[in-house]
Amino acid sequence: MGDQAKLSAGETVTNFPVLKGSVGPDVIDIRKLYGQTGMFTFDPGFTSTGSCESALTYIDGEEGILLHRGYPIGQLAEQSSFMEVSYLLLNGELPGKGELDEFSSTITRHTMVHEQLLQFYRGFRRDAHPMAVMCGVVGALSAFYHDSTDIADPEHRKISSHRLIAKMPTLAAAAYKYSIGQPFLYPDNSLSYTGNFLRMTFGVPAEEYELHPAVEQAMDRIFILHADHEQNASTSTVRLAGSSGANPFACVAAGIACLWGPAHGGANEAALNMLREIGTPDKIPHFIERAKDKNDPFRLMGFGHRVYKNYDPRATVMQKTVREVFDALKVTNPVFETALRLEELALNDEYFIEKKLFPNVDFYSGIILSAIGFPTTMFTVLFALARTVGWVAQWNEMISDPAQKIGRPRQLYTGPVKRDYTPIGKR
Ligand code: ACO
């Protein structure tokens, strides 16, 4: 018998198995808790609850470590490509050259969307938030690709996963084009995944689009940095939706809806707005004092993280990438200088040191996305585009797991106990 955890409640003492992962904290397996004790656990926000077994992504928040299938995010961001990381997340191992070529070619050949789906955009107001449009059109994919929605068939699951990864750039670019009143551009199969997305977003039919290699590389890296992040809110949403047997297009639409929230995908927009509001480095001390003031609701956006109590490893890469893009485009940006100075001052401030508040991935990503030319409303759309591979990889892992059950949390009921209905005239 392996390690056991003892729970003593009232007169009863019950043992529960302790499970060990390949790395990271042990977990107490409480699946039999209700059966053996008649009690549930109470853990809103799931701060102490593992919802699944997963071999995809590992985070050590104390040490600031993020691994995909064992590979550190820094190495992947520096040396790999988004297509390669996508293959890795989906298949578990890095691809050989032939495998990567074949995978990239398959994804490239799924980038077009059904022509009728493009008609959907015209039903939206031009000023609709692109995330509202994305929730709609991604969910609508299930109305077009009936030949890949049998989730019990591994081949269907594979094709729908490829379709989702491939079509997201086309749908995201179309959401942007619609909002600014420009025509949609069809994909160009001669370009890379990321180059194709940039062209569909910023190109126009009237002229050749000139792809800037530094921008293409930076965008690809940003996609890598957002590809997966274990059981975060939107991924858990995709898994929960999928646990009922819903098709993957519908599940990813649910993930997009969850990602839209300001506490999740919307923080980089808030961080950029904050940096713009601060304006010049001489105003930073005032804002740091406000962030420390318990009576002031202001927080340093892009600082702190539920899991990372150290430098977010994605922020390290992001900061370096901002520099590379600015150098390549030969631009300077006072907001970046303000961000660097703010980081320096905060990291030397007792309040931030003591609370282990470090820059997170969102601190620098807004600066770079805005320099590339994206409006703030598109920031979360880009996150959704990149996270789609994580969502489908996690969804596939869940469906292939024989222990998978419909997700159905329990509750602590605090409402009225049973009472009799009173007819309306007697109330
Ligand atoms: N500025 C100032 N103080 C902060 C900040 C901040 N950015 N973040 C946390 N604190 C303080 C809190 O006031 C609290 O202080 P207290 O213990 O004296 O009450 C303490 O640090 C702990 O904060 P919590 O909110 O309890 O920590 P939690 O883990 O729940 O929150 C969160 C994490 C939501 C990310 C928080 O740090 C925050 O609001 N940051 C700013 C928003 C942000 O950047 N979000 C992006 C997250 S990354 C992502 O989603 C991809």
Task: From first to last of the 427 residues of the chain, give the pLDDT tens digit.
Answer: 689 999 998 888 999 999 999 999 999 999 999 999 999 999 999 999 999 999 999 999 999 999 999 999 999 999 999 999 999 999 999 999 999 999 999 999 999 999 999 999 999 999 999 999 999 999 999 999 998 889 999 999 999 999 999 999 999 999 999 999 999 999 999 999 999 999 999 999 999 999 999 999 999 999 999 999 999 999 999 999 999 999 999 999 999 999 998 777 778 888 999 999 999 999 999 999 999 999 999 999 999 998 899 989 999 999 999 988 888 888 888 888 999 999 999 999 999 999 999 999 889 999 999 999 999 999 999 999 999 999 999 999 999 999 889 999 999 999 999 999 999 999 9
Given the residues 220, 228, 312, 362, the one annotated as active site: 362
Mutation pick for ligand 1 pocket among 357, 379, 387 (CB with most ligand atoms within 8 Å): 357
CA 121/CA 260 separation, integer angstroms: 19
- Which among 214, 253, 299, 271 has a CA at the least distance from the CA of 135? 253
Contact 82, 137 (CB under 8 A): no
Give the model's pLDDT for residue 369: 93
Do 388 and 363 form a contact (C-beta atoms < 8 A)?
A: no
**pLDDT given for residue 261 in this prediction:** 86
Q: How far is the CA of 130 from the centre of ligand 1 (A)?
A: 27
* Number of Cβ atoms within 10 Å of the Cβ of 236: 18
Find residue 369's DSSP bridge partners: none
The whole model's pTM is what?
0.93
**Which residue among the candidates 220, 229, 305, 312 is catalytic per the annotation?**
305
Q: Which residue's alpha carbon is at the smallest distance from atom 19 of ligand 1? A: 294
Cα 19 to ligand 1 centre (Å)? 30
Question: What whole-number distance in Å separates Cα of residue 160 and Cα of residue 392?
Answer: 9
Closest Cα to atom 37 of ligand 1: 304
**67 forms bridges with which residues in the sheet?**
58, 72
- pLDDT of the residue at 343: 93
The residue whose CB lies within 8 Å of the most ligand 1 atoms, and thus the one to mutate among 275, 284, 299, 311, is 299
Distance 288 CA to ligand 1 centre (A): 14
